[in-house]
Chains A and B, each alone.
Chain A
Amino acid sequence: MAMDEIVDGMSEVSCDVLVIGGGTAGPMAALKAKLRNPKANVVLLEKANVKRSGAISMGMDGLNNAVIPGYATPEQYTKEITIANDGIVDQKAVYKYAQNCYGIIEELDSFGIRFLKNENGDYAVKKVHHIGTYVLPMPNGDTVKKALYRQLRRARILISNRYMATRLLTGSDGRVAGAISVNTRTAELLVIKAKAVILCMGAAGRLGLPTSGYMFGTYENAANSGDGYAMAYHAGAALANLECFQINPLIKDYNGPACAYVAGPFGAYTANNEGSRFIECDYWSGQMMLEFYNELLSGKGPVFLQLKHLHEKTIEEIESTLHKVERPTRGLFQKGRGNDYRTESIEMHISEIGFCSGHSASGVFVDDFARTTVPGLYAAGDMASVPHNYMLGAFTNGAVAGTDAMEFADNHDFADFDAADVAKERDRVMAPTRRDDGIPPNQIEYKARRLVNDYLQPPKVTRKFELGQRRLAEVREDMEQRMIARNSHELLRALETQSILDCADMAAHSSLYREESRWGLYHLRTDFPEKDNENWFCHTLLSKKDGRMTSEKRDVQPYVVPIADDEKDLYDKQRIRATA
C-alpha cells in the first residue's frame, strides 16, 4: 500500500464517556471518569499519540498558578485572576479551581512528578504575579507525560491514537450523542456514540502566522489547530470572550518563552534597549503585553530578557530547566545563534495570535462543573473558558469534567442522532479526496493565516476587520470548493485548515462585537480606545444560531471574592513610572 493511502471505510463503536484530546486535561478527565464508575467504558481519542501529545509533549518547567497553603489562599488567587483578566470573570469556577488544585498537586506528586521543595520539605513557591505567590518549579517536569500514561494504562482507559475528531453528533433534544472522527493514516471514519463527551483539544494555536514564516513554528503545539473550538461551535455550544486573544512574549524567531517565569525568580528581568526595566511584573496579562508592544514600537526596543548580571551557578540552573523541558530546542536555537546567557541578553518579540484560556480567556463557555451549554458536552484545559488556567488548571478542571461527565452518563442513555448527519459529515470530510484537481491544504492554510496577521492582529481596526472578513470568505470558498487532499495525511491538514478558518471567522466576529477596548493588547480597538464598563462589563458569547454566527452579552456572575475599587486597576499600572 502506498504511503498514507486513502481507504474508504466507516465503522461505529460506543462508550459511556468519550474524552477527545489526550494532552493534559484529557488524561485526567479520563482517569476521573473511570474512577467515578470503574465498570463504565471510557474512550480517550487522540489526533496524535497520547504518549507525547499536547502542549506538554516534552513536559513543563513548572506550575504557574499553584495555590499552596501557607503561600496563597483561594480567595487571594481568585482576586488576582479577576483583576488580571480585567474583571470579566465568573469567579465560581476560578475559586473552585483554587480550592481543588492543591489536591491535584498532591495527586501528581503521587504519580511521580516531583515539585521543587526547600530544605524544610515545603514546596518552594516563587513570586511572578503582581500580587501573590503561585509559581512552583518542577525539577523533573520532563516526565509528566510518561507518568500520566502509566496511570491511564493502570486504569484500563481505552486509548485510540491517530483519530482526528471532526464533528460532534447531537440528538433531537439537543443533547450530545457522540462524535465523528477520521483515522489520520487511512482516512477511515469512526463514529463514536457516547452518553457524555469531554472536549480537551487544546488552544487554537495555528491561527496567526509566526513572523519566522514557518507555518508550524507556533507558540502552541502546532497540532492544536482549534479543532475543539470549531466542533463546539458547529454543535451549537457557546464560546466566551474569543476577542480576548492569546498573544505571548517569546524569544525572537523562536516559539518558546524566554522565560521570565523560570528566570524571573532568580533575578532576571525584562528590559528595553537601554537596559531599563519598563514593566512592573512579568506575569502574562493583556495589560503587560500592551506595554511590551508599546516598548517595541517606541524606539526603545528591542526588548530583552536580561540575565547576564546573574551568578554563573544561577545561569547554569536556569539553563538546565530551559533547555530540558517544555521547549528543549531552546538551547539548540541559542547555540545556533551563538547566544550565551552569560554574555548576551535574549532578544524577545511578541507571538502570533491565538485562542487560549490557559493564558488569556478565550474559550468554549463552561460553568464551574466544566459543562458547556450543550447538555452532556464538557470542555476543559486551554480550550475551556476558565481564564488563565494553565497546565494545573487543565489537570484540575479536567478532573472536575471527568467526574461530572460520568455522573451524567450514569443518569442518561444514548441520545438518538440522525443517520443523515453522519452521511453529511462523511461527504464533507471526504470531499477534498474526491477532487482530481485543485488547491493543496498548505496553500489555503498559509493564505488564511497570512490574512489573520494582516487584518486581525491587534491593534484592531474596524475597517481592517471588515476587509479581512471579505478576504477570508474568499479563501473559505476556495477551501470548500477546490481544496484537494491526495493522501490521508493531506486530508488531516485539510481538515485542520477548516478548523483554522472557522477560528479566524470567530476571531473577527467576536472582536467586532465588543465595541470597547479591554484586556490591554488582546482587545485593543482603535475605534473604541477606552474601556467601557457601563456597556461592556460583561462576557460575550458567540454561537451558531440558525446556521449563522451570532454574538450576545452575558452578565458577569456576582463575585464570590469582592474586589475593592482601589484594587480593580492594579494590572493597568504595569508601566514602571519614574519616581523621585
Chain B
Amino acid sequence: MPLATYQTSVPVVVDDAKCIADKGCTVCVDVCPLDVLRISDMTGKAYMAYDECWYCMPCEADCPTGAVTVNIPYLLR
C-alpha cells in the first residue's frame, strides 16, 4: 500500500536567529526523552522532526540561548 505524508502542527518551535546548532550545539536534541528533535541539513538549526512530544520541557529548559519554545499540542490545547 502506498504511504501518504500526514500534516501536523508541531508543538516545539525553534527560533532560528537564537539557535546555535550550526555552531555545534546539540543540547535540545540530546535531552529529548522521545528523541523527536533533529538538526536540519538545510538550515543547520534544530527543529522538531517527529510529532511525538510529551511537552515535558527539557529542550526549552536546557537550551543555552533560549531558542526553544514548547507549546501544548493542538489536540489537547
Contacts and interface: CB of A to CB of B under 8 A. Distances in A.
Interface of A: 3-4, 48-49, 51-54, 57-58, 161-162, 184-185, 210, 212-218, 221-223, 253-255, 327-329, 332-333, 336-337, 437-440, 489, 492-493
B72 A332 contact: yes
Given A51-B58, A216-B54, A440-B3, 15 more contacts: A4-B38, A52-B56, A52-B62, A57-B33, A57-B58, A216-B53, A217-B73, A222-B54, A328-B61, A329-B56, A329-B72, A333-B72, A333-B77, A489-B35, A489-B49
Contacts, number: 97
Contacts of B73: 212, 214, 216-217
Contacts of B13: none
Given A439-B1, A492-B35, A216 B52 contact: yes
B75 interface: yes
B51 to A, nearest CB: 8
Which 6 A-B residue pairs are closest in the complex by CB-CB distance? A212-B76, A52-B58, A52-B31, A214-B75, A48-B33, A329-B55
Nearest to A212: B76
A58 B56 contact: yes
Contact of A336 (B31, B58, B72): B72
B57 A329 contact: yes
Given A57-B56, A58-B61, A327-B56, A216 B72 contact: no
Contacts of A223: 33-34, 54
A221 B56 contact: yes
Nearest to B76: A212
A253 B61 CA distance: 23
Nearest to A220: B54
A4 to B, nearest CB: 8
A215 B76 CA distance: 11
B75 A217 contact: yes
A482 B35 CA distance: 25
23 contacts: A48-B35, A49-B33, A51-B58, A51-B62, A52-B62, A53-B33, A58-B57, A58-B58, A185-B35, A213-B75, A214-B73, A215-B52, A216-B34, A216-B53, A216-B54, A217-B75, A223-B34, A253-B76, A329-B55, A332-B71, A332-B72, A336-B77, A439-B1
Contact of B70 (A54, A162, A329): A329
Contacts of B62: 51-52
Determine chain B's interface SS by DSSP, over half rule.
Answer: loop
Given A162-B35, A440-B3, A212 B75 contact: yes
Given A221-B56, A329-B55, A3 B33 contact: no
A462 B76 CA distance: 32
Given A213-B75, A254-B76, A51 B30 contact: yes
Contact of A437 (B1, B35, B72): B1
Given A58-B56, A221-B54, A52 B33 contact: yes
Contacts of A212: 73, 75-76
Contacts of B32: 48-49, 52
A3 B72 contact: no
B63 to A, nearest CB: 12
Nearest to A490: B50
Interface in B22-51: 30-35, 38, 41, 49-50
A210 B31 CA distance: 24
Contacts of A221: 33, 54, 56
A91 B44 CA distance: 56
A332 B12 CA distance: 13
A213 B73 CA distance: 11
B1 A222 contact: no
A208 to B, nearest CB: 15
A49 B30 CA distance: 7
Contact of B31 (A49, A254, A492): A49
A16 B74 CA distance: 46
